[in-house]
Each structure stands twice: as structure tokens, then as C-alpha cells.
A and B are shown apart, each in its own frame.
Chain A
């Protein structure tokens, strides 16, 4: 029972990470500038640096990319909320 649980966990983790890598490689080349304007024209060093993180948080970027969300969400804090017209 314990071994089955462990196997499920490990295989799920490996699948998640594998899918993340498959997603991240094309995304850091073609997708990143579509979800964050500041990434436009950025160099290979930056793209390589964020690749592991993109592989870890790939569902978030897949969601933004497919929904054509072009900028990261703006943080809400008490000042910003109360400054609204």
C-alpha cells in the first residue's frame, strides 16, 4: 500500500516535471513575450535562467498563454484598492 502510494506520487511528480520541461522549452522562446511585455527581445541568458521555474509553474503560463493574457496581474494592495476612481 505504502509503496503504491509512493509510486503514484513519484510518477505523478515525474510526469508533471516532464510535461513542464516539454512546455517550457518552446514557451521561453515563443510564448514568454506574449504574457509579459518586459520579456520582449530579452537575451538567451534570461530565457535559460527562467526555464526551470517555467517548468515548475507551467500550468499558470499555459493558462495565460492560451487565454491571451498579455500582462502579469497587477498586485492588489490597500493603497491601490483605495486609489481606484
Chain B
């Protein structure tokens, strides 16, 4: 089988995503320059453009950093994650334009190498008010460049996934450098509290979303670990099971039918008591698992046929942890009532609502 790299794999969703981002950016840059010229008539066009590009890049970096934890906290944000690399590359290009214009305006007009000038023209590295903040932006830009330049799948294969991941984790170093770049740069000359408040809000949002996602994942990991410690086996994701239907898994050398119905999950033995028909291939009709062969019925919670019938099949303990179904492989005695597992995830609830 041969696979070939392409430049960018476009689809409709990605095109809509990119057009939306570019339109919003154009609107932001236009409004920033327009409003800036109106509020500060003495500001030059270059200065306004440098600030517009810099703030756009910094804002977009916040969005990039928030998408990861947001989509871990709520799956509805997942579509934003699919095209995050385009946002990352756009962030770098905005940062490059900001840095390029600034380098040209402040350091390229003398006879010293512009990059050397960037580091030595203001040597007050011990000062807060006069710190040469541009150096911080330079290092952040190098990191953003490395990330943007290695965003194609080719790099995942050629750098290896762990190395690629480590390289891309440097985004947090870049973010810290940029927070310092803004704090020691633009904030020092700013008299209005708007920029400082926006910066604090941005940092607080990024930090709190990451903490919330980490806390939630820790809780899920604990619940999963506990389930495994108690002998449960993960069998599938809840959303792989259609409503009122089952998935069949093999546990303890025998097949188990795991049914999903009304926001709950129950597991019973797959073999019908009548002639071993595959219960997991049947459906839940009138609240009962109905065998596809001759229609014998069993209550999913107890594995017992509704009265006055007497058939019974073994049941299994079930848990749902963050959308994953865990089943204990030890069968309960025939007809033992087992509390169904509630599907607690937001996605489960959404799917329930849709199926109604």
C-alpha cells in the first residue's frame, strides 16, 4: 500500500473554518487600525499595524491554547480542534509580520546587524520599566516558527511522535515569553487599564481551563483505575452502541450482550435460554431484550423474563466511566437484578435527546 503526502488536505469543513478565521482576522486588523487612528491621531500607520498584528497573534495564541482543554471538557468544542494547526500557523505568520515590521522600524535603519541591534540597543536587562522586551518576543517567535514549520504530518513521521509532541509542548514556553513580552513592553507605556485587564483575563482563562481539564482527567483516571482494580474490563465506548441495541463482547469465555437504552447500560449473557439465540443481535422492545430468533423476552436489569414467564439468563455488573463501558467478567446468578449504569456524559445526554 502506498501513501503519498499532499500539501494540505482540504475539505469543506476546513475551508469554512479557514475562511471564517481569515475574515475575523481581517475585521480585527481593520478595526484596530481604524479605531487606533481615530483615538490616537498622532500614532503612525506603522505603529498601529505593528500593534494590530501583535495583539492579533497574541489573541489567536490564547484561542489555540484554550481549544485543547475546552474540547477535553466538552466534546462540542472538538470541531475546533480538527483544524487547530491552521490557527497555529496563522498565529506564527501574524507574529512574524509583527516582529518583521518592528525589526525593520526600530533596528534596520542603522548600520548594525538588525538582530544584533535588537539585543544590544537597549542593554537595561536589569530594569523592569525599560527591559528590552523585544528579545523575549524574538525567542517566542523562534518557537512558533519551529511549531508552524513542523505542523505537517510529514514531521510527525520524521521527528517521531514523542519528539514532535515535546517540540510542540514548547508552546507554553512561547506563551510565557509573550506574556512577559507584553507585560514588560506594551504595558509599561500604557496608561489605560484596558490592556492590563485583558492580559490578566487572558492568562486567567488559559490557566483555569488547563487546571479544570487536568482536574477532570485526574478524576476520570481515578475512576477508570478503580474500575480496573475491581476487576472490570473496558469493552467499548457508549456511543458505539445504538439506542435500544447491544454490542456483543467476549468475556469469561462466553459472549455478553451489552445493551444501551433510555440513558442506561445493562449487560446480560448473550445466549437465549430457549435455543441459545444471540440476544445481543436483538433489540429492546417494550422495555425487554427481545431474542431475534423466536422473540423470547428478558428484562435487561435482571435477565429475567417478564412474569408469568420463568426464563432467566445471567447478568453482569456494568459501569460507565466518561463514555466508556466497563463490564465485570464474573456472571451473576441467573436473574440477579443489577443496577443499570447511567450514561453520565454530556454527549450521551445529547444523543439521548436526539434519539427521542
Q: Check A45/B158 contact, CB under 8 A, given A2-B120, A10-B119.
A: no
Q: How far is the CB of A64 from chain B (nearest CB, A)?
A: 9
Give Cα A6 to B121, complex, Å.
11
B231 at the interface (CB under 8 A from A): no
A38→B6 contact, CB < 8 A: no
Does A25 reach chain B (CB closer than 8 Å)? no
Closest to B113 in A: A10
A35-85 CB contacts (< 8 Å) to partner B: 35-43, 45-46, 48-50, 52-53, 56-57, 60, 72-73, 75
Chain B residues positioned under 8 Å from A72 (CB to CB)? 157-158, 160
Which A-chain residue is minimally distant from B135 (CB atoms)?
A6
Residues of B contacting A46 with CB < 8 Å? 5-7, 152, 154
Contacts from A to B (Cβ < 8 Å) = 2-3, 6-7, 9-10, 13-14, 35-43, 45-46, 48-50, 52-53, 56-57, 60, 72-73, 75
Q: Are A38 and B5 in contact (CB under 8 A)?
A: yes
Chain B residue at minimal CB-CB distance from A48: B7
B157 near A38: Cβ-Cβ < 8 Å: yes
B147-166: CB near A (< 8 Å → 1, else 0) gives 01110101101111110000
Instruction: List B contacts of A49 (CB < 8 A).
Output: 7-8, 152
Are A10's CB and B160's CB within 8 A? no
**Sample of 25 A–B contacts (CB below 8 Å):** A3-B116, A6-B119, A6-B120, A7-B116, A9-B119, A10-B115, A10-B119, A36-B157, A38-B3, A39-B154, A40-B4, A41-B4, A42-B6, A43-B7, A45-B6, A48-B7, A50-B154, A52-B145, A53-B150, A56-B150, A57-B159, A72-B158, A72-B160, A73-B160, A75-B161
The docked-state distance in angstroms from the alpha carbon of A48 to that of B149 is: 11
Complex Cα distance A49/B5, Å?
A: 11
Instruction: Report the bound CA distance from A3 to B112 in whole Å.
Output: 11
Q: Report the count of interface residues on B (CB-CB < 8 A).
A: 27
CB contact under 8 A between A38 and B4, given known A3-B120, A10-B113, A46-B154:
yes
Counting CB contacts under 8 A, is B100 at the interface?
no
List residues of chain B with CB under 8 Å of any chain A CB: 2-8, 113, 115-116, 119-120, 123, 145-146, 148-150, 152, 154-155, 157-162
CA distance A16 to B150 in the complex (A): 18
Residues on A with beta carbons closer than 8 Å to the beta carbon of B150: 53, 56-57
* Residues in A neighbouring B160, C-beta threshold 8 A: 72-73, 75
Please, which residues of chain A bring their CB within 8 A of the CB of B3?
A: 38
State A44–B23 Cα separation when bound (angstroms).
27
Q: Are A45 and B8 touching (Cβ within 8 A)?
A: yes
The reply to whether B158 and A56 form a contact with Cβ atoms under 8 Å apart is: no
**Docked CA distance A37–B5 (Å):** 10
Closest CB in chain A relative to B107 CB, distance in Å? 11
Q: A10-B115, A52-B145, A72-B160 are in contact. Are A42 and B120 (CB under 8 A)?
A: no
- Do the beta carbons of B149 and A53 come within 8 Å of each other? yes
